[in-house]
Amino acid sequence: MALRIATWNINSITARLPKLLGWLEASRPDVLCLQELKCAEDAFPYEPLRELGYEAAVHGTGRWNGVAVLSKVGLAEVAHGLPGEPEYEGVLEPRAVAATCGPVRVWSVYVPNGREVEHAHYAFKLRWLGALKAAVTEDAAGERPFAVLGDYNIVPTDDDVWDPALFVGQTHVTPAERAALEALREEGLSDVMPRPLKYDRPYTYWDYRQLAFPKNNGLRIDLVYGNEPFTKAVGDSYVDREARKGKGASDHAPVVVDLTL
């Protein structure tokens, strides 16, 4: 069975809906994890997605966060939020949603940004990542293909940032954040992007400012971490840079993974 699974920080599903629908028709993923919906659940565009054959599990409040799983192969065992996840300023933010889609189980996650290392949001980020590790333990150890996909807001290595020297002392590259990725690996999850890379510097995010995308001044922060049954089934994985081009694009590009199960 061939299965295409993707993840994309859409940066407002309302603003990017035409881009999203066009990409779905062209790329035809069976499952798509979305982040940064900036859309409440009751305002989510269920109908145009349904017309393309997608069911949707949505967790959003209409503010700055929000996540979803779109599926053409079924949608079951939906879970909103992480068990024991921390609050930020008294609010539980919609940053994680899980679903079983046919033969695979996925989490769509939007990890907190962290803002600055001394900021309270950075400490919140590390607590949230701890809750994520605890949440995936059971699924990661199972025999079912399982993956955590999304915007991690962490650069795994210095090779995944266009100029490491510019990020010294900033969030996304700190030892504590990278240790959180290592903690997921200890649970049996691993990055599905192949090493050595098939092409140079497959970034997934480029700032809108200072011609970052044309210059390829980017970061690889949109990741797919899968358990062994998932990673063994991976036939291809790539960043769809074409989706980042043109007026009105998200500042992130989709990451696509093709499985043979």
Q: How confident is the model at residue 233 (pLDDT cuts 50, 70, 90)?
A: very high
Task: Express each pLDDT in 171-186 by its tens digit.
Answer: 999 999 999 999 999 9
Residue 198 pLDDT exceeds 80: no
List the catalytic residues.
110, 151, 252
Q: Which of 56-60, 144-148, 179-183, 197-201 shows the lowest per-residue confidence on average (mean pLDDT)?
A: 197-201
Is 252 marked within a binding site?
yes
| Average pLDDT value for residue range 210-226 | 96
Q: Which residues contact 104 (CB under 8 A, 6 or more apart)?
A: 3, 5, 31, 144, 145, 146, 147, 230, 259, 261
- The domain limits of the chain are 2-244
Separation between Cα atoms, residue 237 and residue 204, nearest integer Å: 13
CATH class of the structural domain 2-244: alpha beta
Is 9 marked within a binding site?
yes
SS3 26: helix
Is 119 marked within a binding site?
no
pLDDT at residue 201 in the model:
75
Task: Express each pLDDT in 84-131 by its tens digit.
Answer: 999 999 999 999 999 999 999 999 999 999 999 999 999 999 999 999
Is 36 marked within a binding site?
yes
pLDDT at residue 63 in the model:
79
